[in-house]
Amino acid sequence: MPHPRLGQHFLIRGSVLERIAAAACPTPENLAIEIGPGRGALTEKLLKRAARVIAIEVDPYLAGFLEHKFAGEPRLQVVRADVLETDLAQWGHAAIAGNLPYYITSPILEKTVRLRFPRAVFLVQKEVAQRLAAKPGSRDYGFLTVQTAVFAAARLLFEVKPAAFHPPPKVDSAVVLLEPRPADPAMGDAARFLRFVGQCFRQKRKTIRNNLAGIYGKEAIEQWPEAGLRAEQIPFEGFAEMFQRLQ
Ligand code: SAM
């Protein structure tokens, strides 16, 4: 029985599994890390494209199932662990893939983009995928977009309907590709920069002036060309520029 609390919606459509594996490993890879392998449907496809696969599964029943299913496959290592407690960098450079458990999508994204892996391909809620790939000025552009853009360029690859899963989730899904991008020198320390971005988005409907004047002083912010804009209208580079002005 699928475990409802662990976000277990298994992909049953072969073409979707194939496309995720191909996006994660467009050319043969030495190593792929899979987050939440479940019953191993995506794992099988990844094993065709990567010399080794490390599959991290928290549910002991499913981990046992996988060990049994792939007993004759020395190229697969099943790791019985919570992905959020696992040091993913310990295996070195790897392509990352997963049909993610939706209840922990944000912490998984936050953790993986910071590692600057060559590529991560995740199946997530469509709404999250749209926020990750959103352009400034669009409804979906927000803190999550900028937080991700600090480390990675995000692209929505394709959408997946609930019927592709068993049991079907209540929401539409989509596959996103995340590729590392070089750090912007204007950004400085990422944690401090993101605190600043958080202040800019504090009240989404308010202008930069209104969100920042209380913290940095009205005079300083009033001069800025962005003072009358809302954070959702400002591209990533704009935040880096504003942040630099405050240094
Ligand atoms: N990859 C499989 C598929 O597509 O059919 C299963 C995907 S299912 C949406 C999510 C998987 O993540 C489940 O197998 C679940 O047990 C596992 N999972 C949930 N929380 C986890 C965690 N904290 N660490 C590792 N795996 C987790």
Q: What is the pLDDT of residue 157?
A: 98
| Alpha carbon separation from 151 to 117, 119, 194 (Å, rounded) | 10, 12, 11
Cα of 38 from ligand 1 centre, angstroms: 5
What DSSP string describes 218-237?
HHHHHTSTTTTSBGGG--HH
CB 155 within 8 A of CB 176: yes
**For residue 83, which atom of ligand 1 is closest to its CA?**
24
Protein residue with its CA nearest to atom 10 in ligand 1: 101
Q: What is the pLDDT of residue 20?
A: 98
| Alpha carbon separation from 167 to 8, 11, 47, 58, 173 (Å, rounded) | 8, 9, 25, 19, 13
CA distance 150 to 137: 18
Nearest to 148 by CA among 187, 180, 104, 196: 180
For a mutational test of ligand 1's pocket, the pick from 5, 6, 61, i.e. the residue with the most ligand atoms closer than 8 A to its C-beta, is 6
Q: What is the pLDDT of residue 116?
A: 86
Nearest to 136 by CA among 225, 224, 222, 238: 238
Q: Which amino acid is at 111?
A: K
Cα of 103 from ligand 1 centre, angstroms: 10
109 forms beta bridges with none
Tokens of 162: 């609930």
Q: Which amino acid is at 113?
A: V
Measured from the Cβ of residue 71, the count of other Cβ atoms closer than 10 Å reads 9
CA distance 14 to 35: 18
Cα of 189 from ligand 1 centre, angstroms: 33
Cα of 186 from ligand 1 centre, angstroms: 37
Q: pLDDT averaged over consecutive 10-residue blocks of the chain (247 residues)?
A: 77 97 98 98 98 98 97 97 98 97 95 94 98 95 95 97 95 97 82 95 94 92 95 94 92
CB 96 within 8 A of CB 121: yes
Nearest to 31 by CA among 104, 111, 110, 119: 119
Q: What is the pLDDT of residue 1?
A: 59
CA distance 108 to 168: 22
